Structure 1
Amino acid sequence: MEELTHSSSEETKTTAWVDEVFFKGRKVKRSELPEEKQRMTQEAQDLANLYSKLVMEFREGEIVQGKIVSISDKEISIDIGFKSEGTVARDEFANLADVKIGDDVEVFLDRVEDHSGQLALSKRKADFMKTWERIQSIHEKQDVTTGNIQRRIKGGFVVNVMGVEAFLPGSQIDVHPVRDFDALVGRDMDFRIVKLNDARKNIVVSRKVIIEEGLKGVREKILSELQVGDVMEGTAKNITDFGVFVDLGGVDGLLHITDLSWGRVSHPSEVVQLDQKLTVKVLDYDRERQRISVGLKQLQAHPWDGVDDRYPVGAKVLGKVVSIARYGAFVELEKGLEGLVHISEMSWTQHVKHPSAMLSVGDEIEVVILNIDKEGRKISLGMKQVDADPWENLEQKYAPGSRHTGKVRDLVPFGAFVELEDGIDGLVHISDLSWTKRVRHPGEILQKGEEVEIVVLGFDRNERRIALGLKQAQSNPWDEFESLYSVGSQTAGKVIRVMDKGVIVELPREVEGFVPASQLKRLTKGSKQTVSVGDEISLEVIEFDRENKKIILAAQSPDGVENDEEIDSETRDQYIVGSDSPPAGSEPTETQ
């Protein structure tokens, strides 16, 4: 048979017949062919048209009707009326035991011809498409559907809706906070499809919107009848740092932390627990914003009502320390009723530098009501008043002139505090430390913790002060010094301090004397530096003042020449043994 081929384009390769054909190596029109050849080409055209029509009846990506013609171990053959049969894997049939030859079945036409030229069908895809169409219809109509909560995932749950997985956000489960998410897994619930992505086949469902719709009528009724001052029953549905949200039967009210109790509340969970039944009072209602404020403490008596009767001045009561400040401690007598124990009211005897040295938050203590200011809502409390004032009985024990033994508790620039008994201190002034030495600091005479014998010089019960003397515990040596260091007597002295206006010397019997600069000239012989600390010099007493405890001396020259220059009166008057400050202009020089 002579060669005969058809010429066609890519677009009409199997579906259109053309007028031009190749005959004997050249392209000719069909009308130019011999009659026999024209009949053959017409038959080929009819067959092509029939195949094209058959293919066009089956569109890829659609569901088609078919009949089961055979069942094997691995697959099921289905005739959809195409030139060849298609196969579907057995596992795509849910109820395989009910499947039999001759059954009509809907399948998804995946491809008319796959890579092996076979018809590609899918039962699973057909079932999914039919289910998806039902889901689309439910979403469009906003109908309620039932689903099963399968498992927890980040942010919510996976729900099985008619065999398709949907996402249930955690915030869309209920109008109330969910306490136990795990308890929901495996439960069947009603849902509404709130979001559908057809391209990605994603579904988002909500149970909360169904509940809210059911509460809508109740909510509107409550809001229309709500009045400030109403007392309502509710349930604590959520607890935050600033308060509690209370479900009032369809609407929420905020119970602020300040309205929970008349007393101090650090966190609402101290007063209220989740799901606790509460009776609250409506404090405010913003109709525009539909916000309700409720209170719990407002249904209880105000703690300041009748406070005078419950806490009369002078009464001893128990309280709990709730706060500590540098100036005192706040003590709670009952919820909403606090008083202040000032730092000065904490102890009769101890020197309290900070309340935390005696108290801690949470301590339960006994206090005395000192004063109640109802207008200012302030209560003054005392701790020390619980016990008798020990100073009431100390005046006889520590009468002036009495001798006692004490322990040096502290040294300060102006003296030393000596503890006479537990909590009772007296002050030894620096001028009462020594009869004979000019003391610049108490540390020159005493040390902390040292046991000393002292004499009470004065007792002031109102100011709670006891004046003590250390030197008074010994006899006054100045009676003896008056004869030992009479004017004109000679003695030796050791320089212990050099000053601009003279030097301090230590004389026999550990008494100090002063040599003015003008009385050192007989030793200088014109030089500026006369003596140094530690030098031994010969001296003559030129003035003795027993009352002011002053000994003024003059240096004796080696050649015996006397110095008749008068002593500066200011220099003479400023030197007193036992003084706590040096004479003006008499600061120590670098030679010390």
Structure 2
Amino acid sequence: MSTMSNPIIEEEFDEATLAAMYEDTFRNFEEGTITEGRVVAIQKDRVIVDIGYKSEGVIPMNQFLPDEIPTLAIGDKLQVYIEQREDSDGNLVLSKEKADKMKIWEELEVSHQEEKEVQGKVISRIKGGMMVDIGVKAFLPGSQIDLTPVRDLDGLVGKTFPFKIIKINHRRGNVVISRRALLEETRDKKRQTTLATLAEGQKIEGTVKNITDYGAFLDLGGIDGLLHITDISWGRVGHPSDMFSVGDRLEVLVLKYDKETGRISLGLKQKSADPWMDIAAKYPEGNRVAGKVVSLTDYGAFVELEPGVEGLVHVSEMSWTHEVRHPSRVVAVGDAIDAQVLHVDQQGRKISLGMKQTAPNPWDIIQARYPVGTRIEGKVKSVTDFGAFIGLDEGIDGLIHISDMSWTKHIKHPSELFKKTQRVEAVILRIDKEKERLSLGYKQLTPDPWESEIPSRYQVGATTTGTVAKIADFGVFVELEGDVEGLIHISETGQDSQSKLEEVFKIGDTITAKVVKVDIEERKIALSVREYSQETDTQDLEAFNSSQGSVDHSLGRAAKNKEGTAEPENE
């Protein structure tokens, strides 16, 4: 049996040819390059890959992502990196991890050249900015994070954003990215679109970007507009932050657009009709209305009657009977109240309201129930330097002025007669309904002693005795019987001009003087120690002279008897 020979097997090659053929098998398997391989075996800790080389390569299992391992199957094609064609044991060393990274770098370089977006996840905060994972670690400078400075950088960690590569160096492994560049591009596109369609009178939506004392800035889509505080509401706005928060979406009206400066004025209240139009017809004076207290000031309470319309209840219009020092003692924010329209100023956009007018006026009751001269009884509510306030059952306080406390006694302070909570009687003197004042008298409970009693008791020329009550620069006040005061003028004290009254007279001293004047209209009694002393001296002299004459007469009779001339005992 003849055997056919294989020409290829039988072909003889020289040594040079064989060497060339051997080298050709390594031509496509250079170290440091990426090639495609096929999974031929999956073991516990490694994956065997055939790249068409004389030997198969091994990739450690830890180079595969956790979500890749369950789906890995024999026959799968992989991009691998040739690290070594032969290690010390003659094995082919492959790396999937390096192949993936080289592929990522290639894609990043393409994205950089073509200015494409890349997705990245912020992984940490570092000095000067943030570290972001875009497949490789990239640096995000702080100035490139947003259009405006970000206060809470830590709050970005873990979030994913689109970025733009602004610098890349594969050899050094450096990548610098920017989020701001993309935001600026987006803003500019929106700005152009917004400006192309913007017109005065147009309704447009915006996002509250910033809030100030004078208004709120809205992002209208790449361009900002100002919603001034005066254009927020037809009613009163304390502060824009009371109405909005940053991030709120609002539909507003374009009031003015200056193309040269780019300034845009916005309005919110202009979306609805002005509620102050024909306000006088809607809220006639004298009508009773209902509202809600929205704010308090030292001088009153603002009450919302409807959205955009507020009225003021002044503190003086809150109570008929009590002096309201602060509205918080009567109402609180949020209270629903009834009030009466007192005055409407449509041009000034003001409405004056009254709360007390919704209840009966107690001054009408007082005027009808207590005519002037009526005796009343009440409790002392308070004592001041000028008088005592007496509370009546109707809730009104009347004043007993210090001048109406005593006909005769000089009252230094009302507390000498009245104490708080003390019940007293008084007489109605005057009722002033307009000024809401009630004047009472205490001394009027008894007849005026100056009309009859005092003039008859203290007649000019009579001598009286009293107690020193007060010493002044111009004289001495003396308390007489019946709580009447008399004045000894300094010229009537009988002292020379060099003497000081305090050195001669003491409080509490008993003193006798002569009544020199009684002024009923002025209710004053003038006394004189000087005249009293002169009169006493004259009386003493007359008494002395009288007694001296009797002595001389007795001596004469004795002399005659001695001479023997008898005189009858009774002539």
So what's the TM-score if we normalise by structure 1?
A: 0.65
Give the letter for the 1:231 counterpart. Answer: K
- Check the 8 A contact 1:370/1:381 in 2, yes or no: yes
Q: What residue in structure 1 maps to residue 111 of structure 2?
A: 138
After superposition, the C-alpha distances for 1:394-441 in whole angstroms (9 at most, x for unaligned) are: 223332221112333344444333333454233333322112212233
2:481 aligns with one of 508, 512, 515: 508
1:430 aligns with one of 374, 387, 402: 402
Alignment of 1:121-200 (within 5 A): 124-125=97-98, 127-145=100-118, 147=119, 149=121, 160-161=133-134, 163-166=135-138, 192-196=164-168, 198=170, 199-200=172-173
- Check the 8 A contact 2:211/2:246 in 1, yes or no: no
Q: Does 1:406 align with 2:374?
A: no
Whole-Å separation in 2 of the counterparts to 1:106 and 1:473:
120
**What secondary structure, in the 3-state scheme, does the structure 2 residue paired with 1:561 have?**
helix
Whole-Å separation in 2 of the counterparts to 1:318 and 1:125:
78
- Check the 8 A contact 1:406/1:420 in 2, yes or no: yes
- Check the 8 A contact 1:520/1:554 in 2, yes or no: yes
Tell me the CA shift for residue 352 of structure 1. Answer: 3.1
Q: What residue in structure 2 maps to residue 440 of structure 1?
A: 412
Q: What residue in structure 2 maps to residue 493 of structure 1?
A: 466
Q: Does 1:530 align with 2:504?
A: yes
2:537 aligns with one of 554, 561, 576: 561
Relative distance call for 1:517 and 1:236 in structure 2 (3 A) is: closer
Q: What residue in structure 2 maps to residue 358 of structure 1?
A: 330
Give the letter for the 2:355 counterpart. Answer: M
Tell me the CA shift for residue 471 of structure 1. Answer: 0.9
Whole-Å separation in 1 of the counterparts to 2:505 and 2:233:
81
Give the letter for the 2:111 counterpart. Answer: I
Q: What residue in structure 1 maps to residue 560 of structure 2?
A: none
Alignment of 1:56-135 (within 5 A): 63=33, 91=62, 106-108=81-83, 124-125=97-98, 127-135=100-108
1:385 aligns with one of 339, 354, 357: 357
Whole-Å separation in 2 of the counterparts to 1:67 and 1:458:
116
Whole-Å separation in 1 of the counterparts to 2:109 and 2:420:
93
Relative distance call for 1:563 and 1:301 in structure 2 (3 A) is: farther
Give the letter for the 2:234 counterpart. Answer: W
Whole-Å separation in 2 of the counterparts to 1:264 and 1:526:
72
**What secondary structure, in the 3-state scheme, does the structure 2 residue paired with 1:521 have?**
coil
Tell me the CA shift for residue 306 of structure 1. Answer: 2.5
Alignment of 1:414-493 (within 5 A): 414-478=386-450, 479-493=452-466
Tell me the CA shift for residue 301 of structure 1. Answer: 1.0
- Check the 8 A contact 1:108/1:123 in 2, yes or no: no
Whole-Å separation in 1 of the counterparts to 2:265 and 2:156:
33
Tell me the CA shift for residue 302 of structure 1. Answer: 0.7
Whole-Å separation in 1 of the counterparts to 2:539 and 2:298:
64
Tell me the CA shift for residue 300 of structure 1. Answer: 0.7
Tell me the CA shift for residue 219 of structure 1. Answer: 5.8
So what's the TM-score if we normalise by structure 2?
A: 0.67
2:312 aligns with one of 340, 363, 372: 340
Tell me the CA shift for residue 371 of structure 1. Answer: 2.1
Q: What residue in structure 1 maps to residue 526 of structure 2?
A: 552
Tell me the CA shift for residue 317 of structure 1. Answer: 0.8
Tell me the CA shift for residue 303 of structure 1. Answer: 0.9
Q: What residue in structure 1 maps to residue 231 of structure 2?
A: 259
Q: Does 1:330 align with 2:302?
A: yes
Whole-Å separation in 1 of the counterparts to 2:124 and 2:219:
28
Relative distance call for 1:184 and 1:517 in structure 2 (3 A) is: closer
**What secondary structure, in the 3-state scheme, does the structure 2 residue paired with 1:440 have?**
coil
Q: What residue in structure 1 maps to residue 340 of structure 2?
A: 368
Give the letter for the 1:509 counterpart. Answer: G
Whole-Å separation in 1 of the counterparts to 2:357 and 2:312:
14
Give the letter for the 1:384 counterpart. Answer: K
- Check the 8 A contact 2:32/2:81 in 1, yes or no: no
Q: What residue in structure 1 maps to residue 23 of structure 2?
A: none
Whole-Å separation in 2 of the counterparts to 1:471 and 1:262:
58
Tell me the CA shift for residue 182 of structure 1. Answer: 9.4
Q: What residue in structure 1 maps to residue 182 of structure 2?
A: 209
- Check the 8 A contact 1:435/1:476 in 2, yes or no: yes
Relative distance call for 1:151 and 1:496 in structure 2 (3 A) is: same
Q: What residue in structure 2 maps to residue 284 of structure 1?
A: 256
Whole-Å separation in 2 of the counterparts to 1:347 and 1:73:
91
Tell me the CA shift for residue 377 of structure 1. Answer: 2.4
1:305 aligns with one of 273, 277, 298: 277
Tell me the CA shift for residue 274 of structure 1. Answer: 8.3
Relative distance call for 1:316 and 1:291 in structure 2 (3 A) is: same
- Check the 8 A contact 2:253/2:268 in 1, yes or no: yes
**What secondary structure, in the 3-state scheme, does the structure 2 residue paired with 1:332 have?**
strand
Give the letter for the 1:560 counterpart. Answer: T
After superposition, the C-alpha distances for 1:297-322 in whole angstroms (9 at most, x for unaligned) are: 21211111221232112111122333
**What secondary structure, in the 3-state scheme, does the structure 1 residue paired with 2:199 have?**
coil
Tell me the CA shift for residue 222 of structure 1. Answer: 4.5
Whole-Å separation in 2 of the counterparts to 1:464 and 1:506:
38
Whole-Å separation in 1 of the counterparts to 2:188 and 2:490:
106
Whole-Å separation in 2 of the counterparts to 1:525 and 1:206:
100
Give the letter for the 1:452 counterpart. Answer: V
Whole-Å separation in 1 of the counterparts to 2:266 and 2:436:
54
After superposition, the C-alpha distances for 1:118-169 in whole angstroms (9 at most, x for unaligned) are: x999774565344323322221122345x474767689987654x4244679
After superposition, the C-alpha distances for 1:324-344 in whole angstroms (9 at most, x for unaligned) are: 344433332222222233343
Give the letter for the 1:381 counterpart. Answer: L
Whole-Å separation in 1 of the counterparts to 2:318 and 2:372:
28
Give the letter for the 2:524 counterpart. Answer: K
Whole-Å separation in 2 of the counterparts to 1:281 and 1:389:
49
**What secondary structure, in the 3-state scheme, does the structure 1 residue paired with 2:316 have?**
helix
Give the letter for the 1:517 counterpart. Answer: I
Relative distance call for 1:322 and 1:197 in structure 2 (3 A) is: farther
**What secondary structure, in the 3-state scheme, does the structure 1 residue paired with 2:274 have?**
coil
Whole-Å separation in 2 of the counterparts to 1:303 and 1:429:
50
- Check the 8 A contact 2:401/2:440 in 1, yes or no: yes
Q: What residue in structure 1 maps to residue 557 of structure 2?
A: none
Whole-Å separation in 2 of the counterparts to 1:406 and 1:428:
11
In structure 2, the gaps of 5 or more residues are: 1-26, 50-56, 541-571
After superposition, the C-alpha distances for 1:168-194 in whole angstroms (9 at most, x for unaligned) are: 79986999x9xxx9999698x865434
**What secondary structure, in the 3-state scheme, does the structure 2 residue paired with 1:202 have?**
strand
- Check the 8 A contact 2:206/2:252 in 1, yes or no: no
Tell me the CA shift for residue 296 of structure 1. Answer: 2.9
**What secondary structure, in the 3-state scheme, does the structure 1 residue paired with 2:408 have?**
coil
Give the letter for the 1:345 counterpart. Answer: E
Tell me the CA shift for residue 89 of structure 1. Answer: 6.9
Tell me the CA shift for residue 346 of structure 1. Answer: 3.0
- Check the 8 A contact 1:281/1:296 in 2, yes or no: yes
Whole-Å separation in 1 of the counterparts to 2:479 and 2:208:
88
